[in-house]
Structure 1
Amino acid sequence: MGAIELKLESLGIELPQASSPAAKYANYVIVNGLLFMSGKGPGSHAKGKLGQEYTTEEGYQFAREVGLEVLAVLKDALGTLDKVKRVVKVQGFVNTVPLFEEHHKVLNGFSDLMFEIFEDKGSHARSVFGAVSVRDNLPIIVDSIFEVEEI
């Protein structure tokens, strides 16, 4: 068990089983040491909009769930999370009502988890957008890019 997996265990964090793609695409692609992760939603498969069915705080938890899902796929892809050199870029698509303004607070659930697990290597560039509609009416979908050791 790698150092990151031991850290997860010490924090009482159990990763879900890595999800499979929902259609004809790859879960991830590695090019020149960068792992591009396909968009992931929360493991609970909640449905609905922030500002309507869900609060910002609930959205934060959904984004954290997405982070756990991403970590599970990373571990499945790399064999160990210790091969993650850095979280590079995070892009969130938050399913919201038109007047919702706290997208950044929702995506913090994902970002905070990356900092918690990878510390300085968890520091990343990011952007977040409100969406009028996302796949399966999920409350949030996150795309992410990681620098990884070649496998």
Structure 2
Amino acid sequence: MTSPIEARLAELGVTLPTPVAPVANYVPFVVSKGMLYISGQIPVGPNGVEYVGKLGDTLSIEDGRAAARLCAINILAQARAALGDLERVARIVKLTGFVNSAADFGDQPKIVNGASDFFVEVFGDKGRHARSAVGVSGLPFGVGVEVEAVIEIA
């Protein structure tokens, strides 16, 4: 039987991928005191790393939003690996979005909305969260966006 969250993902046309393994000396998630901390996820899709470039230069706002959404999908893949069932997500507590930005780019919040909007689409009010959207001069593999999450476990 499909859980309500898995059914909602199917309605949105989203299939969660196999979680990406870490590429350095860290773990993809940590569970501690009823909270799930998910390491920064980059936009890795079925064909590998996607959305390489800088926002405000080679990537558009639409590209950045799509990249952030893909990061959020990868966060859910890690959450399912950690918890076994996405029904155990009590709330998305906090997102931090890092946006690889050209020097004069100031629309980081619009980019990270790609992840924020996705979590609200999937979880409703449980998907509303605190958030930071930070412009940076570079990200791993040259991607445009990286997003990390803190999730309360039910």
* Range class of TM-score, shorter chain: over 0.9
CA offsets, 1:95-122, max 9 Å, x none? 0101001100000000000000010100
C-alpha displacement of 1:71: 0.7
- The SS at the match of 1:127 is strand
User: Is it true that 1:121 corresponds to 2:122 in the alignment?
Assistant: no
Alignment of 1:41-120 (within 5 A): 41-44=42-45, 45-46=49-50, 47-120=52-125
> What is the aligned-residue RMSD (CA, Å)?
1.0
| Unpaired segments ≥5 residues, structure 1 | none
Question: Which ranges of 4 or more aligned residues in structure 1 deviate by more than 2 Å?
Answer: none
CA distance in 1, matches of 2:7, 2:148: 26
Structure-1 residue corresponding to 2:28 = 27
CA distance in 2, matches of 1:20, 1:51: 30
* TM-score (structure 1 length as normaliser): 0.95
Distance 1:80 1:27 in 2: 17
**CA offsets, 1:53-98, max 9 Å, x none?**
1001110000000011111111111111100000000001100101
Q: Alignment partner of 2:147: what SS? A: strand
* Kept after mapping to 1: 8 A contact 2:75/2:148: no
How far off is 1:143 after superposition? 1.2
For 2:122, the aligned partner's letter is: I
Shift in Å at residue 6 of structure 1? 1.4
TM-score (norm 2): 0.93
**CA distance in structure 2 between the aligned counterparts of 1:65 and 1:24, rounded to whole angstroms:** 23
CA distance in 2, matches of 1:48, 1:12: 26
Quick one: distance in 2 between partners of 1:7 and 1:52?
35
